[in-house]
Each structure stands twice: as structure tokens, then as C-alpha cells.
Chains A and B, each alone.
Chain A
Amino acid sequence: MSVTRRTLLTSAAAAALAAQFRIDPAAAQEKVIRFSMPQDFTKIYTFVTSEYNQGQRDYISLVNARGGINGYTIAADVSDHGNDLPRAIEAFERAKSQGAVLVDPLSTPVARALTPRALADKINLITAFSGRSDAADGTVFPYVFPLSPNYWTQIALLVDYFRQQSGDLKGKKICFVHIDTPFGKEPLPVLKRLQEKLGFELSTFPYTPPGNDQSAIWPQVRRARPDWIVFWGAGVGQTVALTEVIRNGLPLNKVSSSVWLSESDMDVVGRSQAAGVLKIEPCASGRAPKLIQEILKEVVEPGKGAGPTEKVGTAYYNYGVMLASLMVEGVRQAFARAPQGPISGEWLNAGLTSITNFDAQGLIPPTTVTKEDHQGGGKARIARWDGAKFVPVTDWFTAYSDVVWEVIRESAAEFQKSGK
């Protein structure tokens, strides 16, 4: 017994050590650009992450299958950080020592914790739909890239859509139901400013995280007789909110969410029951876009897909493709500027900040990222769930960017002041 135990322990220790020494296998083979994707597969975001990550890797496979960029292939180092900061920091530092030029953690707490490191180490931190909203201000956060409409832009888009539909929001009532965390409360400053500007009435209804019981909130929302409702959460809170909307008989076509609503959520709520609900769409969903078709033909059909085929074309999958395409476009631009490299965080940074009018063959709104604007213009559209898929009801647009940028600049200035 003691011998087997000892052998077991010794071999486990040896294996653990071996794993530690595998620090830089890719340094030997040149012509590789490393993207690090430590994401949360196991803790909170789970299926969101796996669909998002699947989209990212499928797009990267597509690029690599076509010969890469400038002769370089892209290596995606996927690992699980489980939303745990020591693990995420380990992954970040490992990525740095392996020469990764970009880290995409897809987690608000992780992105916030990594921000000071990314700024100090000059590694591009992708914080799409997560992280600090004020990172849109590239002058203060040169190495942090939302590359997508932040939460402030998203709420401004929704309010503008409501205004378009109601004609005028004066005296109208908007109910904002949100998870009671910093993330849930994030849209409030923009909402309050828009309230002053447009004269609507705003009621907020916080629910306790994680939000699997919201039965006390929604009858109050019903009694408030809102003209428009926004629900703001993530993960389980979203499906519960939607279920409660249906149960309380609120008009679904007056209810909207942020970007966090997908086919998988609809499967939980009931696909046909949820018909009518709105959401923000940062990129086209479904399999119709040309890019998704190409992925299906060149990656998924030959059996090189990174996950289950039925998930191809879901909302989160397409977000993954969207972000991967933007990252790769950044690489392309970087090569256009400095073909000889050296491949580094700064090199990619120059590329990412010169993405101009890139639309990923119609998948995303024309996106221009500059040194000042890291959210790429903040364009998105509103989509309605018709019972089977999301149908866009507006064109790509952006709204109240003056108000949004005012809040971004204020918050960024505060960050700049405090870190010094």
C-alpha cells in the first residue's frame, strides 16, 4: 500500500513539475501570434463562455486554414480561470511570459483586476461586454479594449429606441430591473442623465444576486404600469426575469435586455412563449451572415469545429466570431504598419487602434477603433425574438454619444487621478 501510494505521489509530483517547465514551447517555432483566452468555463458564465469561445476558435481556425496572416498562424491558448482572481492573474502572467500579445478573459471582475497589470505590462486586454465601461476612453486606458458597445452605450441605445417608438418619452415610465451588483447598477448614471434630458420617469428595481428568485419584484413592476421595461443581469437572472415578465403578463414587446440574451436562454424560458422580447444586438445573429457560412463550410464541415455544430450561429457564438474577427483585423492592421514586427503588445496595439470601417463581411456594424475611442464607435442594433430567432428591428445606430462620453470621460478621469 505504502509503495503504491508513494509511487502515486512521486509520479503526480513529477507530472506537476513537468507541467511547470512547459513554460515556453512556442518560442522555438516562430511565425506564431499568441492570443491568450483564459475564460470562465466552470463557475458563473459557463455556457456563455463555451459558446463565445467556440466562435472565437472557429474563426481563428478559419484564418489559420487559409494560411494565417502574413505567414503567421494564430495560436489560441484556452484555459479556465473559473472567475477566480489568483488563477486569472496566473494565466495573465503566464500569457505574458509566453509572449502573448492579447488576453481576453471575458469576465467583469477579472478584467477589472487585470486592468492595472495590462496597462503596466503593455498587453492588450480585451474586455468585450465586460470590464470597465470607461475603458472606452483609449487615452486613459491605452491597452484595454472593449471593442464593442459598453453598457452605457447599450442603455443609451435602448432609451433612444424607446423614444423612436413612443415618439416622445416625456412623462413615459421606464422601469429598470437589475441585479443588485456593481454590474447591475452600472447603467444608472447614464439613465439618470437621459432622464433629465428627455423627461421620462425612471423606477429602478434591484433584485438580490444571483437572481434565481425575483418573484417579489415583478408584481411591483406590473403595478408601476411601465411604458418600457429594461432588465439587466447575467446568467440565471436573465431567464428568471424573462419568466417573471411572462408570468406577470407584461407586454413582451415593451421589454428589453442588454446584449446578454441568447437562444440558450430562450430554451430555458420557452422559445415561443418569449416571442416579442427585445435585446441589443452588437452583431448579426444566426447562420445567414457570410462569415458564418464560410466557417460552416471551411471549418465545421471538415470536422474541425471547436464545439457542437448546433451552437454555430447562436448569439454568443457570433459574439465570439465578432471579437475574434476584430482581433485578427488588429493583427492585419499591425502587419500593414510594421510588417517586420517585432510581434509585441505594442505592435498589436498600433494595429487595434487603426481598425477602420471594418464590418467582418456584414457580421458587425462598421467599426472604427481609434486611439481615443476603444469601443469602436458604439454601434449596435435592436433585435426582437420572434419565437425562433432574433430579427433586427433597427439598422446599426448609436445614440446620445455625447451623454455617454461625458460619463466615460468623468469616470476615466477619476481612474487616472486615483492610480497616481
Chain B
Amino acid sequence: MFYRRAGLLHTRYQDERQLWPFAFDRGLVGCVCLVLVVAPFLFERLYLVTYLLPWIIWSTAALGLNLLMGGAGQVHLGYGAVIGIGAYASVHMLRAGIPLEIAMLGGGLASAIVGCLFGAAALRVKGLYLAMATLAMQYMVDFIISHFEIISGGTQATLQVPPVRFLGVPLSSDAAAYYFALGVCVVVTLFLLNVKRTSFGRALAAVREKDYAAAVIGVDSFRFKLLAFWVSSFIGGVVGCVLAVSYYRAISPDQFHIDLSIQLVAMVIVGGLGSVLGSFFGAALILFAPIVLNHLVGLIADLAGLPISADLRAHLPLMLYGAMIMGFLLWEPLGLAKIYNNTRNYFLVWPFRHAR
């Protein structure tokens, strides 16, 4: 019906290899992109600033982590710290007067270097042990940031982000900040969409499935594991810069605690390991389910006039949220992206259901 495969004939390799061979997919992507581009004129400020903007930033971060976790199969519980390094490095550079374009890459580089140092643990240990090593990174970075006043910024431990410009445009308005985040997100998304089709992506997949099997077929797992950490940490660092510049505008150590790392891991897992689309779904669910559930419970309590105590009213959404995540994972362990994919597969052969 929607996705028409019939009549798709390719005579050139380029056509065969395009990102979205189905016209419907292209249309869908185009519509979403259009909505995202006109969003500042379309939505109220509240929705732009507190829903779309964080969603885009967190999705970019989830994409970066997904390259490592879904793409290369390496667990990382310290991605929050990676983002923190990027944020601190870039804000310090900005405060020193370095332009944002360079500071952003500088933040990425700083994260990539530190991320790689800890990622080197991945060359020796796997699975749970790697999780512990990256967790250690999280705690060490937290400790270092909050213990060096020169990094954290004095007794108040809060660094203001100075007014910045990106390519000559001041990022003071909501729309400008949003477009900046969107731009970074688009670049990262395109990179990740393409990565799977490169030899790099295939090598990562080989490492993910079994690293010594990969070595047997000639993939240097040492190199590709490190490369995966490098690329993913670089993305994390850039996201840290975007987060600081266009969303938080003042950074303090507690913004990059273990909570953020866990949130990101949850986004990747709930969204779907190794899926680009899933990162967006996961980010949306983990970021907004608590908020929406809170409003919902509040609304129901108000409408029904239920005398729920503030405590219960605050904890009820939390329970629902937990149940929701468990429900999603039970129903579809491969994540939200798989649910979408199943729907898509269904419509691909619709109405001939048996063809599935």
C-alpha cells in the first residue's frame, strides 16, 4: 500500500545503494525534515525549547553511543562523562575567546582522546568488565571536574557559556540555537546512516559479532575497537558542546553524572541497538515519558478530583514509566525501531499477510 516495492528496478549500482530506495520512505523523511526545519515557526516556544531541542540533542548523543554499543558491540557506561569532557573543553575554549566552530571540534577531540584512553580497556576486557572500566571513567571524570576549580569554575562550580556565534550568526535566539543543534544532528545522522555501508561499518559489525572471528577474516579488531571509541567519543564531545551552548547555557559537574550515562544507555537499548531511527525513538521515550506521564497523572487526579498526596502523585508516574519500559522490552526486545520495522514490513507485503 504505502511502501511500494513493485516496479522498483535498478539499472545502476548507485540507485541500488541509495539510502531510501522506496519513494514512501523518501517522502516520510522529507516530511519529517520539513517539519523540523519549519518548527520554530510552527510550534509554540515551549515545545520548541523544551521538547524538540533536547530531543534533537539527546538523539545525537544516543546516535554516538549507538555506534559504539549497537555498531561495535562495546558496552559504555561512561558516555555522560564523555559528553561532560566535550562540554567543559569547549566552554573553556569559548571563554578563552576561541570561536565556536573550532571550540566544538576541540571539545570533540578532547573527548575522543580521553574516551580512547579508557576505550583501550576494551582491547583487553569485554562485556561486564568493560562496563566496569567505563564506569570507572565516569567516576574519575566526575571527580576530576569537581575537584579542580580551574575546570569547574570556582566555589559555585558553574561555568557560564559566553554569547557565541556560529558561522557569523549569534546563537542568542531560540531558533538559532535550535538550528545549530539540528545541523549537528543532521550531520551525525547522515554519517551514521552511511557508516553501515562502508568497510568501517562492516568491520565494526564483524567485531561486534565475535572479535576473534573478525580477526580470522582479516579485520584488525584492535584498530577498529579503538576507532569505534574514537568516533563515538568525538560525537559525544561535540554533543557536549551543543548541549552547553544551545540548551544549558551554564554547565556544572552534576549535569554529567552517571544519571546521564544511564539515560543514554537506556535510550539506545529501548530505541534499538544499532538502529539510527531507534536512537530518535529511544531519546523521545526516555526524555519525555516521565514528563508526559506526570502531566497525565496530574490531569487525571485534577479531573477526577482524587485526593492523591503529592508524594504518590510524584511517584506514580515513575512506576508507570518503569512499567512502560519493561513492557516495551518484553513486547519487543529489539527496541522501538523494531516495532516500526515490523509495521513497515507488514505494509511492504500488504495485503498478503502470509508473505511475511
A interface residues, Cβ below 8 angstroms from B: 15-16, 18-20, 22-23, 41-42, 50, 53-54, 57, 78-80, 82, 84-87, 89-90, 93-94, 96-97, 109, 112-113, 115-117, 132-134, 180-182, 185-186, 188-189, 306-307, 407, 411, 414-415, 418-420
**Given A116-B250, A419-B160: A94 in contact with B155 (beta carbons within 8 A):** no
Please list the 10 inter-chain residue pairs (A to B) with the smallest Cβ-Cβ separation, ordered nearest first.
Answer: A182-B157, A41-B314, A80-B314, A90-B50, A419-B160, A19-B295, A109-B254, A418-B160, A93-B50, A97-B46
A-B contact pairs, 21 of them (CB 8 A): A15-B296, A22-B295, A50-B311, A53-B310, A57-B310, A79-B314, A85-B255, A86-B50, A89-B54, A93-B45, A94-B50, A109-B252, A109-B255, A115-B158, A182-B146, A182-B156, A182-B253, A182-B254, A186-B156, A418-B162, A419-B162
- Check B255–A94 contact: CB distance below 8 A: no
Q: Name the distance in Å between B338's Cβ and chain A's nearest Cβ.
A: 15
- Check B296–A415 contact: CB distance below 8 A: no
**Given A20-B292, A54-B310, A307-B310: A113 in contact with B156 (beta carbons within 8 A):** no
- B residues 126-154 touching A (CB-CB < 8 Å): 146-147, 152-154
- Check A115–B296 contact: CB distance below 8 A: no
For B29, the chain A residues whose CB sits under 8 A away are: none
Q: Contact flags (1/0) for B89-103 with A, using CB distance below 8 Å?
A: 000000100000000
- Check A113–B314 contact: CB distance below 8 A: no
Q: Does B309 contact A (CB under 8 A)?
A: yes
For A93, the chain B residues whose CB sits under 8 A away are: 45-46, 49-50
For A420, the chain B residues whose CB sits under 8 A away are: 162-163
**Given A188-B155, A306-B310, A418-B160: A113 in contact with B298 (beta carbons within 8 A):** no
For A116, the chain B residues whose CB sits under 8 A away are: 160, 249-250
For A82, the chain B residues whose CB sits under 8 A away are: 290, 314, 318
For B296, the chain A residues whose CB sits under 8 A away are: 15-16, 19
Which chain B residue lies CB-closest to A132?
B156
For B50, the chain A residues whose CB sits under 8 A away are: 86, 89-90, 93-94
For A112, the chain B residues whose CB sits under 8 A away are: 156, 158, 250, 252
Q: Among the listed A19, A42, A79, which residue makes an inter-chain contact with B315, where contact means beta carbons less than 8 Å apart?
A: A42
A182 CA to B298 CA in the complex, in Å?
Answer: 34
Q: Does B166 contact A (CB under 8 A)?
A: no
Q: How many residues from B make CB contacts under 8 Å with A?
A: 49
Interface of B is mostly: helix
For A97, the chain B residues whose CB sits under 8 A away are: 44-46
Q: Count A/B pairs, Cβ under 8 Å.
A: 128
For A18, the chain B residues whose CB sits under 8 A away are: 299
- Check B299–A418 contact: CB distance below 8 A: no
For B160, the chain A residues whose CB sits under 8 A away are: 116, 415, 418-419
- B residues 179-208 touching A (CB-CB < 8 Å): none
Which chain B residue lies CB-closest to A185?
B155
Which chain B residue lies CB-closest to A19?
B295
Q: Does B294 contact A (CB under 8 A)?
A: yes
- Check B155–A182 contact: CB distance below 8 A: yes
A80 CA to B248 CA in the complex, in Å?
Answer: 19
Which chain A residue lies CB-closest to B254?
A109
A407 CA to B145 CA in the complex, in Å?
Answer: 22
Q: Does B159 contact A (CB under 8 A)?
A: yes
Q: Among the listed B47, B51, B309, which residue makes an inter-chain contact with A307, where contact means beta carbons less than 8 Å apart?
A: B309
A188 CA to B298 CA in the complex, in Å?
Answer: 42
Q: Does B171 contact A (CB under 8 A)?
A: no
A85 CA to B155 CA in the complex, in Å?
Answer: 21
For B254, the chain A residues whose CB sits under 8 A away are: 109, 181-182
Q: Does B15 contact A (CB under 8 A)?
A: no
Q: Among the listed B47, B51, B259, B314, which residue makes an inter-chain contact with A84, where contact means beta carbons less than 8 Å apart?
A: B259
Which chain B residue lies CB-closest to A96?
B46
A132 CA to B299 CA in the complex, in Å?
Answer: 33
- Check A186–B155 contact: CB distance below 8 A: yes
For A19, the chain B residues whose CB sits under 8 A away are: 292, 295-296, 299
- Check B310–A41 contact: CB distance below 8 A: yes
Which chain B residue lies CB-closest to A117?
B249
**Given A112-B250, A189-B155: A80 in contact with B317 (beta carbons within 8 A):** yes
Q: Does B287 contact A (CB under 8 A)?
A: yes
- B residues 34-52 touching A (CB-CB < 8 Å): 44-47, 49-51
- Check B45–A90 contact: CB distance below 8 A: no
A41 CA to B253 CA in the complex, in Å?
Answer: 22
A41-B315, A93-B46, A109-B252 known; 11 new pairs, CB 8 Å cut-off, are A23-B46, A79-B295, A82-B290, A86-B287, A93-B49, A96-B46, A132-B156, A182-B155, A189-B155, A411-B154, A418-B159
Which chain B residue lies CB-closest to A306?
B310
Q: Name the distance in Å between A404's Cβ and chain B's nearest Cβ.
A: 13
- B residues 8-49 touching A (CB-CB < 8 Å): 44-47, 49
- Check B155–A115 contact: CB distance below 8 A: no
**Given A85-B248, A86-B287: A181 in contact with B146 (beta carbons within 8 A):** yes
- Check A415–B156 contact: CB distance below 8 A: yes
Q: Among the listed B154, B155, B158, B291, which residue makes an inter-chain contact with A90, where contact means beta carbons less than 8 Å apart?
A: B291
Q: Name the distance in Å between B28's Cβ and chain A's nearest Cβ.
A: 18
Q: Name the distance in Å between A82's Cβ and chain B's nearest Cβ.
A: 7
Q: Among the listed B46, B51, B294, which residue makes an inter-chain contact with A80, where contact means beta carbons less than 8 Å apart?
A: B294
**Given A16-B292, A411-B154: A42 in contact with B318 (beta carbons within 8 A):** yes
Q: Name the distance in Å between A194's Cβ and chain B's nearest Cβ.
A: 15
Q: Name the distance in Å between B140's Cβ and chain A's nearest Cβ.
A: 13
For B318, the chain A residues whose CB sits under 8 A away are: 42, 82
A306 CA to B311 CA in the complex, in Å?
Answer: 10
Which chain B residue lies CB-closest to A186?
B155
